[in-house]
Amino acid sequence: MKKQLFLFSFLLVCIAAALGAQSGLDLQIRFYDKQVYYTDSPVLIKVELMNNSAETYRFKLADIRSFSLDFSVRTLQNEPLPPAPEFVLARNTNQRIFFREIALPPGESYSFIQELNRYVQIDEPRQLIVQAYFYPDLFSDMSPHKMTSNTLSLSVRPSAPGVALPVAIDEETAAILRAEALNPDQVVSYMIRARQMEQWDKYFLYLDLEALFLRNPGNQARFRASSEADRISMVNQYKEQLRSQTIDYDILLVPQEFRILRTTYTEEEGEVAVLMKIRYPNFTELKQYTYEVQKKRGIWYITNYNVRNLGTE
């Protein structure tokens, strides 16, 4: 019976792959930085969509990638790995899904980098088979159409000392992002532009997430009473809640336009005031954001902010 079910599942995958090929859009995945992977190291996957047809292919790409993409990761015994908590949270939170419609001309491709660990829990050493699913019309129960990628073989080893922490990737160039010694106003402008472009790794680059998490008085006592490991977990969860746009709405607002009003700073701390214009169908809302920044190890980071409503125009 199990063998029959496996054969039936395999047949469905083949049919989905055939439908994807007929559409003219080919889905391919590969390891972005093939290396020795451990249970606590990030697994970066490059996802590439290639238009092999003679016509322009149009598809939707969700800002929250889990509504466009999914991964099936199975053991050699065909047992699926459980989804990551942040993936479950994103898929099951009642929220508006923002997306871009992309027109891909014949012969061209579109690619982006994703961290597999944000989709599935990889917490044991083992051999795994990885496959991606892409939803051209976004994921929903009413629109189950999906494309199927090639498969990758992933070997995960036990955790080892000195393994690198997850890295931030520039989705446009696929280069590793590193914070630079920018001026406070440049740091704030960089963060806002990254939010406008929905480039989350860039958006987080100059945010002091621990300081922002502790803005909420309810978090402070719990944070102080926790172990170092639990504190790291709290901050990581806060980061994913920001990414899923389920918390701290003010700092996630996307302005149509913005202008730096003033910047004041000393050697170690400063403030940057910004005029934000948030466009709605019938009006434009004006807000003044004042970002507090602190210099740490020669880099300015945003540690706090406040918002003043200025009316509409």
User: What is the C-alpha to C-alpha distance for residues 39 and 159, in angstroms, rounded to an integer?
Assistant: 5
Residues near 210 by beta carbon (within 8 Å), at least 6 away in sequence = 231, 235
Helices 228-243 and 85-92 cross at an angle (nearest 10°) of 30
pTM score above 0.75: no
Give the mean pLDDT of 88-109: 87
Please provide residue 219's backbone torsions phi and psi, each rounded to the nearest 5 degrees.
-85, -25
The position carrying tokens 């929220």 is 95
User: What is the C-alpha to C-alpha distance for residues 71 and 182, in angstroms, rounded to an integer?
Assistant: 37
Please provide residue 245's backbone torsions phi and psi, each rounded to the nearest 5 degrees.
60, 45
User: What is the C-alpha to C-alpha distance for residues 124 and 127, in angstroms, rounded to an integer?
Assistant: 10
Higher pLDDT, 4 or 263: 263
pLDDT digits (tens, 9 = 90+) for 150-171: 999 998 887 644 444 455 666 6
Give the mean pLDDT of 174-191: 88
Please state which of the four CATH numbers 3.30.9.10, 3.10.450.50, 3.40.50.300, 3.30.70.20 is assigned to the domain occupying 184-312: 3.10.450.50
Q: What CATH class does 2-157 carry?
A: mainly beta
Band (5; pLDDT cuts 50, 70, 90)? very low
pLDDT digits (tens, 9 = 90+) for 11-63: 444 444 444 444 578 999 999 877 778 887 789 899 999 999 899 999 999 98
What percentage of the chain has pLDDT greater than the value 90? 50
Do residues 300 and 293 lie in contact, with contact meaning Cβ atoms separated by under 8 Å? yes
What pLDDT does residue 170 have? 66
Question: In angstroms, how far is the first alpha carbon of the chain from the final one?
Answer: 66
Band (212; pLDDT cuts 50, 70, 90)? very high
Residue-averaged pLDDT of the chain:
85
The position carrying tokens 């200025």 is 310
What pLDDT does residue 157 have? 83
Which residue ranges make up each domain of the chain? 2-157, 184-312
Q: Which residues of 53-65 are buried (b: 16+ CB within 10 A; e: fewer)?
A: beeebebebbbbb
User: What is the C-alpha to C-alpha distance for residues 92 and 90, in angstroms, rounded to an integer?
Assistant: 6
Band (207; pLDDT cuts 50, 70, 90)? very high
pLDDT digits (tens, 9 = 90+) for 114-148: 889 999 999 888 899 999 999 999 988 666 688 99
What pLDDT does residue 28 have? 95
Do residues 121 and 84 lie in contact, with contact meaning Cβ atoms separated by under 8 Å? yes
> Is the pLDDT at 110 greater than 50, yes or no?
yes
Neighbour tally for 16: CB within 10 Å: 16
